Amino acid sequence: MKRIVFLSLVLIFPLIVLGQRSLIDKGDSYYNTYMFDLAKDYYEKSLGSITAQADKAEVNYKLGYCYKMLGNSDKAEMYFGVAVDNYVKGVIKPDVLLFYADALKMNGKYEDAIDIYKQYLQVSPQDHRAKSGLEACTLVPKWINRPTRYKVINVSKFNTLQLDFSPVWASKDFRSLYFTSSREGSMGSRDNYKSGQKFTDIFEVTQDRKGNWSEPIPVAGGLNTEEDEGASTVSMKGNDMYFTRCKAGKKVDEPCKIFYVNKKGNAWGEPILVSFPGFDNYEVGYPALSKDDKTLYFSAEAPAGYGGMDLYMAERIGTSGYEFGRPINLGPEINTLGDEVFPTVRSNGTLYFASDGHKGMGGLDIYKAITDDKGTITGIENMKYPINSSFDDFGIIFDGDNETGYLSSNRKGGKGSDDIYSFSLPPLVITLNGLVRDTTDVDKILLVKDAKVTIMNDAGVAGELISSATGGFTFKLEPNQNYKIKAEMTKDYFSNSTSFSTFNIEYDTVINVVINLAKIPKIITLPNIEYEYDKADLRPESTVALDGLVKTMEDNPNLTIELRAHTDFRGNDDYNMELSLERAKSCVVYLIEKGVKADRLTAKGLGETEPKVIDKELNKAFPYFPVGTVLDEKYITNLKDNKKREEAHQINRRTEFSVLSTDYGVSEEEKKIEEEKIEKGQNSAVIKETKSGDF
């Protein structure tokens, strides 16, 4: 009995092997003709009887590739993973690691993808695709955690369980839309074994005055056929269309081509093949017209390209609509080893496209081309999350200059496979929160009510406010502006300002500013004003304090001041007086060079005649000099510590300024009006103590 069973197994085993080989061979025949939907079925049937590691590696690799091309990233990841585990050198290529990492990334498994990309780079260290993928896996989690302000919503009215993608405007009022679909009711009802879907047609929807979209219907005329009618583009007038058509079947394998069709009345005529010089035998598709309808952008897979599908542009010749000059490759800033497809030219001339070769979130991502002043493409910008996802995102269109429109995506949570989504960008909200304080006494900072606050931007005065009872004020700012915020009280106070920019702000932002005002004292010491030894030349470090004085003069255009320079008591009295005057003049010259009018400035040299009196601020820095101490010759000479003696000399070698007048440039009539306001109490800010929690 045992021998009979053994003989049966011996007889059956070759039949199993032959059956398995037959399934694999059948799968290969479809795989080699790009019929991935059919190929996968035969490969999956063969899996149960495969025992050899080499066969297991090869079949799982091909299954992974089939599902990659069919857009099923979950199964692509699964089969590529099995192929990697059973890797046999010479049986499958090392790019199984690249495809496995890509599938992991597309499924949002960025940490796992990083490990596989690193393994692949050990084999192919120069592969740009893996380098971009690896870098993207570190960036994408940050994009997701801090998304752009775009809002993306599935348009259920447009979508079915089948393919719905590649929307284009059918009219310049943006109330009519074409898109491609494999839904029921299309003429292309046959199975497309490359995509695993039905063949696609072009459909139309229109919008009523209330913003409601009609039910999609196939476009009228001779445009749609039993073949694949794919991505399209329409001229500004709406009467010329270019679209992609692909013929495919069990016995048909022709490259996709672009066709031109003209609209006659309400229906499209018979399409005419567009022939691009030198591209007759290559795959071309995904047309997009420029704003002036004179240039056609498209994708093509040509040997002279950078790899995969590249973007090209061609100029129209004559008036036929279907004749073009020799296409020009858009170059390495745009094109990669991967696929660059679905170009779109916005109304402002900006080019958008989809690619799986640049740094992206996974699958196809949407990118914006960056150009210089001459229109030369200098780089690209990923549109990031949520415009992009870890899945395929492509075919974006904009509603003119508005940041609204539609895009295509097969991201999870949709209605079917490829779906159409709307997007919009809410207004950017930048809020200014300000506070006006009185810092005359830094030990007792006060809040200022009814201070005048002027807000200026690049266009001029943007707003005038009065500070609240708690010294606060708020204002809505515009993006991409330079701002200056100025606060004023009475003429007994210095006015003050602060500046900032709202350029490059991408998210809703609150900008907090504090403007400190202070009473005008009799004399103000300028810190860190230093000169060359025994000379009047300013040292570079002196300019910091003088630049601050320039700002004070700009904020207070009605002030005139006196620059006062001092020396220590060492040296000849007359010489010290002359040296201090020259030093004061050096400060005046610097201020004039910075734009302060000369008649607002006076220079005065005081030599050693006014030794410094220690105040609270100096006492904090030099606690061994008591408040009220006069640093005269007698006091300094009696100091036993040489270091303290030298510090006292240093304090005396100072430069100060005092306010001479607060009505420079003010007419007699304006002075009279100001005096009347003061008498009536109309120009007096109210000051109160700060509380904890006050901004």
How many Å apart are CA 393 and CA 154, to the nearest integer?
13
How many Å apart are CA 40 and CA 63, to the nearest integer?
6
Ramachandran category for residue 110: left, alpha or beta (phi over 0 → left; psi -120 to 50 → alpha): alpha
For the chain, percent helix, then strand, then coil, each to nearest 5?
A: 30, 30, 40
pTM: 0.76
How many Å apart are CA 462 and CA 278, to the nearest integer?
58
Tell me the average pLDDT across 442-468: 95
Same domain membership, residue 484 and residue 585:
no
**Mean pLDDT score across all residues of the chain:** 89
CA distances from 645 to 534, 621, 632 (A): 19, 15, 11
- 688 belongs to a structural domain: no
| CATH number for the domain harbouring residue 602 | 3.30.1330.60
Same domain membership, residue 582 and residue 516:
no
| CATH number for the domain harbouring residue 47 | 1.25.40.10
Same domain membership, residue 262 and residue 341:
yes
Predicted confidence band of residue 535 (pLDDT cuts 50, 70, 90): confident
Domain total in the chain: 4
pLDDT tens figures, 291-346: 999 999 999 998 889 989 999 999 999 888 899 999 999 999 999 989 999 999 99
Judge whether 479 and 428 are in contact, CB under 8 Å.
Answer: yes
Same domain membership, residue 182 and residue 310:
yes
684 burial level (CB within 10 Å; 0-12, 13-18, 19+):
middle
* pLDDT score for 669: 80
CA-nearest of 490, 492, 489, 462 to 477 is 462
CA distances from 586 to 336, 370, 557, 612, 660 (A): 61, 49, 21, 21, 19
Judge whether 65 and 34 are in contact, CB under 8 Å.
Answer: no
Same domain membership, residue 435 and residue 420:
no
Give the range of the structural domain holding residue 487, as residue numbers without chain letter.
430-520
Domain stop point among 462, 487, 520: 520
- Residues found in the chain: 695
- 675 belongs to a structural domain: no
Within 10 A of 132 (CB to CB), how many other CB atoms are there? 20
pLDDT tens figures, 260-278: 999 988 899 999 999 999 9
- 124 belongs to a structural domain: yes
Same domain membership, residue 126 and residue 183:
no
Q: How far is CA 641 from the centre of its chain?
A: 61
Q: Is the pLDDT of residue 189 over 90?
A: no
Within 10 A of 633 (CB to CB), how many other CB atoms are there? 13
Domain stop point among 145, 174, 207: 145
287 burial level (CB within 10 Å; 0-12, 13-18, 19+):
buried
Tell me the range of 7-16, 335-344, 528-537 where mean pLDDT is highest.
Answer: 335-344
Ramachandran category for residue 635: left, alpha or beta (phi over 0 → left; psi -120 to 50 → alpha): alpha
Domain stop point among 373, 394, 424: 424
Judge whether 205 and 176 are in contact, CB under 8 Å.
Answer: yes
Same domain membership, residue 481 and residue 419:
no
- 356 belongs to a structural domain: yes
